[in-house]
Structure 1
C-alpha cells in the first residue's frame, strides 16, 4: 500500500480500494487525463474534499479559472476511505481543551467554525443534489468504562452553559434501552447535529459540482515535479503535460508524497485507520443487539473504536491499524476489529467481515490543523487528525478565500503553518510507543 513516509510516487490512475463505499456509488465523475500544456489562474493538487471544495468555491463564488490535478481518481485518498462521520470539530482537542489552551472567547469562535463546517456539508449536499445516503442525525460519544462516564454530566453542562450547545447526557440504562445493547457502553453524550454519509459518494458529488461550476478536473494526472517561475507563478509537470499557474494550492493532507513539499511532509504524521463492514444483521440480530438506529458512535479509548449501522443493516467498525503501509493488508487487522466488535456485542458472535480497507489520516504535532499561505502564492490545508470530513469541506472554502486575499476568522488554525515534528525521522517510533501506551491505558486505567 502507498506510504507517504516511504514513497515519492503516489501512483497514477489507480482504482478505488475494494471498499463498501466503492461498491455502493451510483456513478463516477466524468474526468480525463491531462494530455496537453495549459495555463490557468489556480492549480489545486488533490481531488479530495479539501481540493474539490476549494475548486468549487473558486469557480462558483469567485469566477476564477481553476484546475484540479488528481493523481488517481476523485476521492481516491482519505475522502473516499473514511467512515463517513460528519462530526462537529477537527483535530484532537475538545472545546474544554481549546478553552484551557486559548481562552473561552477563542473556543467559542472554534465552536462557531465547527457549526459552519457541518452547515457547509449540508449545503453542498443540497445544492449538488448529492445522493450520499445521509443518515438520521445523531452522534454518541460512549464511555467504555464506568469511571469515564462519571464526568459526562459535567461535560454536557459545560457545553450547554458556555456554548449554548444542546448536548444530551445518556445514562448506561438509557443507552441500552434507546440505542444499543453494547456491553461496553457505560453512558454517552449525544450530539444532535452530526450524521453519517457514504464518503466516496460525497466526494464524487463535490467533483461533479466543481465541474459544473467551470473547474477543470483531471484524474490520472499526478504532479511529478513543480517549481516557481521567475515571475512568481508556478509550473507543474504531469506525466504528459505541463501546467502554468499564478497560485498553487496543495490539498493532499495525509497523502502528500515523500519529498513533494518537505515542510508539509515533515509537519504531518500519516496514521493508518482501518475499517471493516460486516455481513447484514438478521432481524433477530437487530433485536438482540438493540441497534434500531443509525447514530454514529465513537468511544473514549485512547485508541478509539468508531462504528455505525449502515442503511442495509451492516455494521461499519473502525480503529487504528498497521504503522507501515506495507503491513496494511495483513489479516490480523480486520480480525482484530471484528473481535473488538464482538466484545462490544457478544450476541453477534456469528457475524462475518465482508469488507476491509485502510486509509491514511494526517496527525499534526499540536493536534490542530492549519489552513495557510505557506509562502507567497502557495497555500495548503492539512493536519485534520482523522476528524476532517466536515472541516475539510470548510477548509476548501477558507483556502479559496485566502487566494482572494480575504480575512479569515480569528483562530490559531488560520494564523500560521503546521509546526514540524521534532526529529521527524523518528515519528513512527514515537507512534509505536504511543500505541503501546494507549493499549495499556485503555485496558488498565
Structure 2
C-alpha cells in the first residue's frame, strides 16, 4: 500500500482499494492530461477538498484544472466510514474555549456546523445519490466512570452554543439504540448523518465538471518548478503552468512535496471491516438502530454504523507502516473488537477489509492557509480523521482565499501554519509507543 512517508508518489491511475464502497459503486472516469496546458489555478488532489475547491472556483468563473494521481475519491474520500460530523480535529469545544476564548470557540462551532450543512446543501443541489442516511451520531462512554464527563460535555454544548445534543442513558441505549457490552451512556448529536463516501466524491466531481472545472485523473505531480511568478507542475504525460496552486492531498501528501508543508503532518492508518449482511436474528440480538453512527471514548477509538443493506461497518486504528496495512492481524483485531462489543455476532463473516491514511497535525487541529513566503500556493491539511464535512468546507474556503472574494473569518484554521513535527524521522516510533499506551489505558483505565 502507498505510504506517504516512504513513497515518492501515490502511483498513477491505481485501482480503488477492495472496499465495500468500491464494490458497490462504479465512479465516473475522467481523462488523463496528455498535452501541456496553462491554467489560472491548479488543484492537486481529487478528494473532497480538491473537488469542492474546484467546484466553487468554477462557479466563480475561474479557470481551474484539477490533477488527480489515480482516480477521483481514491484517497481518504473513498475509504472513510461515511460519518458526516463536526470536524474539530481532536480538540473538544471546551479545549477550544480554554485555548482561544469564548468568542473564537463560538465561531469555530458555527463554522463546523456550517460544514455539515455544506455537505447537505451540495447533495441537494447536485442531486447526489450518496445514500444519505439520517439518524445522528452517538458518542458512547466505554467505561462507567466516563459517563459524568459526557453529561458535562452535553451541558456545556447546550449552554454555550445551543447545540441540540442530548444525553442518552445506559438503559435507553440498550432499549432504543444497541445491545453493546461497553455502552454506559452516550451523547446523541441528531444533525449528523451517514453517506456512501465514494458516491459523495463522485457527485462532487460531476458537479465540478458541470460547472466548468477541468478534471484529469492518472496525472500525479512528479515535479514542481517555479519559473518567475508561474508554477510548472510536471506529470508523466504533460506539464501544467499555473498562476496559483492548491494542495488538496491531506493524508496522501508525499514527503518533500512542497517546502511549506513538509514535516507538518503525520499520516496515520485507519482500517475498516464490513460484515456480510446481518440476519434478522443477528440484527435483533445486537439491536443496532439503522442510521445511527457510533464512536466510543477510547484513546484508540472504534467507530461503527449499520449500513443500509444490513451490513455492519466497524473501524479503528490499523498498522503503522503502509507495507503492513493489509496484514491479516489488523483485520482480526478489528473483528475481535467487534465481537467483544457485540457478543451476539461472534459467528459473523466479513466481506471487506481496507485501510486509508488520516492526516494528523502536531497540535490536533487542521489548517487552511498559505505556506510562508509563497502567496500563490494554498493548502488544507491535518483533519485528524474528521474530514468528511470539514474537507468540503475547506474546499469552499480555499476557493475564497484564491479569489480573495471575501476575508476569512478570525478562526485559528486561517491564522497560523501547521507546526513542524520535531524529530520527524522518529514519528512512527512515537506512534508505536502511543498505541501501546492507548491499549493499556483502554483496557484498564
TM-score, structure 2 normalization: 0.98
Q: Look up the SS of the partner of 1:418 in the other structure.
A: coil
Tell whether 2:215 aligns with 1:224.
no
Report the counterpart of residue 305 of structure 1 in structure 2.
Answer: 302
Contact (CA 8 Å) 1:181, 1:345: kept in 2 or not? yes
Report the counterpart of residue 120 of structure 1 in structure 2.
Answer: 118
Distance in 1, Cα, partners of 2:254 & 2:317: 21
Distance in 1, Cα, partners of 2:361 & 2:333: 26
Report the counterpart of residue 12 of structure 2 in structure 1.
Answer: 12
Contact (CA 8 Å) 1:132, 1:198: kept in 2 or not? yes
CA deviations 1:307-363 (Å, max 9, x no partner) are 000001100000000000010000001111011000011011110111000000000
Distance in 2, Cα, partners of 1:222 & 1:88: 31
- Deviation at 1:433? 1.0
Q: Look up the SS of the partner of 1:16 in the other structure.
A: coil
Contact (CA 8 Å) 1:373, 1:402: kept in 2 or not? no
Q: 1:170 aligns with which of 160, 168, 171?
A: 168
Distance in 2, Cα, partners of 1:46 & 1:64: 18
Distance in 2, Cα, partners of 1:389 & 1:238: 28
Q: 1:65 aligns with which of 63, 66, 70?
A: 63
Mapping of residues 233-272 of structure 1, within 5 Å: 233-272=230-269
Distance in 2, Cα, partners of 1:422 & 1:263: 15
Q: Look up the SS of the partner of 2:261 in the other structure.
A: helix
Distance in 2, Cα, partners of 1:315 & 1:349: 13
Report the counterpart of residue 140 of structure 1 in structure 2.
Answer: 138
Report the counterpart of residue 32 of structure 1 in structure 2.
Answer: 31
- Deviation at 1:430? 0.9
Bigger mean CA offset, 313-322 vs 403-412: 403-412
Report the counterpart of residue 345 of structure 2 in structure 1.
Answer: 348
Q: 2:333 aligns with which of 333, 336, 340?
A: 336
Runs (4+) of structure 1 exceeding 3 A deviation are none
Contact (CA 8 Å) 1:263, 1:420: kept in 2 or not? no
Q: 2:93 aligns with which of 92, 95, 104?
A: 95
Report the counterpart of residue 278 of structure 1 in structure 2.
Answer: 275
Q: Look up the SS of the partner of 1:267 in the other structure.
A: coil
Distance in 1, Cα, partners of 2:207 & 2:330: 36
Report the counterpart of residue 128 of structure 2 in structure 1.
Answer: 130
Report the counterpart of residue 438 of structure 1 in structure 2.
Answer: 438
The number of residue pairs the alignment matches comes to 442
- Aligned Cα root-mean-square deviation (Å): 0.9
Contact (CA 8 Å) 2:270, 2:315: kept in 1 or not? yes
Structure 1 alignment gaps of length 5 or more: none
CA deviations 1:64-90 (Å, max 9, x no partner) are 000000000000000000000000123
Structure 2 alignment gaps of length 5 or more: none
Report the counterpart of residue 84 of structure 2 in structure 1.
Answer: 86
Contact (CA 8 Å) 1:143, 1:187: kept in 2 or not? yes
Q: 1:360 aligns with which of 357, 361, 375?
A: 357
Contact (CA 8 Å) 1:45, 1:252: kept in 2 or not? yes
CA deviations 1:274-309 (Å, max 9, x no partner) are 000001110111111112322000000000000000
Distance in 2, Cα, partners of 1:78 & 1:215: 22
Distance in 2, Cα, partners of 1:206 & 1:225: 27
Report the counterpart of residue 192 of structure 1 in structure 2.
Answer: 190
Distance in 2, Cα, partners of 1:49 & 1:229: 29
* Cα pair distance change 1:319/1:78, threshold 3 Å: same
Distance in 1, Cα, partners of 2:47 & 2:193: 19
